[in-house]
Amino acid sequence: MEKDDWSFNDAGLAAIDNELQNAAKIAVREALKVKAGEQVLIISNPRHDAAIISMALYDAAQDVGGRPLLVFQPHKNQIDFAEEGVIAAFGALPEVVISISSGKLGKDKKGIAEPYKYDGKNYDHIFHLMQYGEKSCRAFWSPSVTLESFTRTVPVDYQTLKRRCAWIGAILDEAAAVRVKAPGGTDIVMGLAGRNAKYDDGDFSAAGSGGNLPAGETFISPENGTSRGIIVFDGSISLNDRDILIKSPIKCVVEEGFVREISGGREAYELRQTVMLAEQNACQFEKEGKILAGLGAVYAKNASNIGELGIGINPAARISGNMLEDEKAFHTCHFAIGQNYDDDAPALIHLDGLVKNPTIIAIMPDGGERIIERDGILAE
């Protein structure tokens, strides 16, 4: 296949060229294992870091014989819709999808208004339908990615990452519940009956697989209605339009699976505002026909749902106020407020928040306990 006349290599970015090319090659060849002739849809934004990384990935895909298509759209936040042309690009049925965004990919207006159905399940985004339902594509997505983070955290030991993810996942799969405590005041229990852990281990080579780059977490959605206790976010947290480092801890009281009270300083106020915005927009979207009739109240209610527990295990990751990397950092776990990963608690938001130095205890069906992490240190 003849390569295009222009490439990232010609862009005059010699200072970062080698490190970024290396990270892009690892992403394309090791994580995705792109094959000759495969369509590779790359969705990005015309903002410096995201654009430069997307161009490097375009070149790396061409180098292995792939057929990349790079699409730019404006920056998108948590509640924004993707451009119609981006959604239409999925109609070409790409085998590989990469989202390298300065914010988010964007919601699927058609999918939210009239969810796609596959094998008895509803999907509110065509990307989710193709990946999780039909399993016709594999992917990675890097929301709010930065150039420095991508080049530093993508080249890691993926065999060790994969082993650690599987070890944690096997315990969570067997557990009936999990308890998380931390020095900042977190003390919460959540049921895991009927739930299976998911891995972001950097191996996205099989159809239907996907995750973040940087990779490095095992995560699970708690059984709906079972989470109870206190979460004190003291690392960083996602809001509608950005991620922030937490200076004044945010205390969340959780009852029957939902956040009932949020207290603290300025960060807590902004978190409450984001949750309220998701609730209000869900009802408004239903009125405007953007959400299927009868589902507005469901989306609004789940804006305060506890949708995820994740455990970070990427040794190159650190807390910087960029959740894409923060949630992968050693010595942390994170909880998400909003939509879960089992497609039975839809919401307009998924807000990850970090807890530092947690002790994570799996409660087994016989009442026994297994330590996954103690004071932020894996117990492997």
DSSP state of 3: P
In tens, the pLDDT along 317-376 reads 999 999 999 999 999 999 999 999 998 999 999 999 999 999 999 999 999 999 999 999
**How many CA atoms are closer than 13 Å to the CA of 160, on its beta-carbon side?**
8
Q: Which residues, at least 6 apart from 258, have a Cβ–Cβ distance to it below 8 Å?
A: 227, 301, 304, 305, 306
290 pLDDT tier (thresholds 50, 70, 90): confident
Among the listed residues 193, 194, 184, 266, the one whose alpha carbon sits nearest the alpha carbon of residue 231: 184
- Residue with more model confidence, 34 or 12: 34
Class of domain 8-148 (CATH, top level): alpha beta
- pLDDT, residue 2, reads 41
Residue 9: pLDDT band by 50, 70, 90 thresholds?
Answer: low
Computed over every residue of the chain, the mean pLDDT equals 94
Alpha carbon of 20 to those of 100, 149, 159, 209, 265: distances in Å? 14, 10, 21, 24, 39
Please state the separation of Cα 172 from the chain's center in Å. 19
- Tell me the C-alpha distance between 348 and 132, whole Å: 19
10 has a pLDDT exceeding 80: no
Across the range 163-169, mean pLDDT stands at: 97
Q: Which residue has the tokens 């410096």?
A: 48
Determine the Cα–Cα distance for residues 219 and 252; give it in Å rounded to an integer.
20
Contact 356, 182 (CB under 8 A): yes
Largest Cα–Cα distance of the chain, in whole Å?
64
Dist CA 355 CA 337 (whole Å): 13
> In the numeric block, which tokens belong to residue 15?
């200072």
Q: What is the pLDDT of residue 1?
A: 37
- Residues 341/356, Cβ–Cβ less than 8 Å: no
Q: Which of 195, 204, 201 is nearest to 308 (CA)?
A: 195
Bridge partners (DSSP) of residue 370 are: 362
331 Cβ neighbours under 8 A, 6+ residues apart: 312, 356, 357, 376, 377
Which of helix, strand or coil describes residue 247? Answer: coil
From edge to edge, which strands make up the β-sheet containing 377-378? 258-263, 250-255, 228-233, 187-191, 177-181, 359-363, 369-374, 377-378
Q: Omega of the bond prior to 214 within 30 degrees of 0, cis?
A: yes
Residue-wise pLDDT for 55-99, tens only, equals 999 999 999 999 999 999 999 998 899 999 999 999 999 999 999
Which amino acid is it at 93?
L
Percent of the chain with pLDDT over 70: 96
pLDDT tens, 298-322?
A: 999 999 999 999 999 999 999 999 9
- What lies within 8 Å, CB to CB, of 337 at 6+ separation is 252, 259, 271, 275, 303, 304, 305, 306, 307, 349, 350, 351, 353
Reported as a pLDDT band with limits 50, 70 and 90, residue 6 is very low
Domain(s) labelled CATH 3.40.50 in the chain stretch across: 8-148
pLDDT digits (tens, 9 = 90+) for 202-235: 999 999 999 999 999 999 999 999 999 999 999 9
pLDDT at 179: 98
State pLDDT tens for residues 127-140.
999 999 999 999 99
pTM > 0.85: yes
Query: Bigger pLDDT: 8 or 33?
Result: 33
Q: If you search the block for the tokens 């939902």, which residue do you land on?
A: 258
Q: Given this model, what pLDDT does residue 343 score?
A: 87
Residue 301 C-beta-side C-alpha neighbours within 13 Å: 11
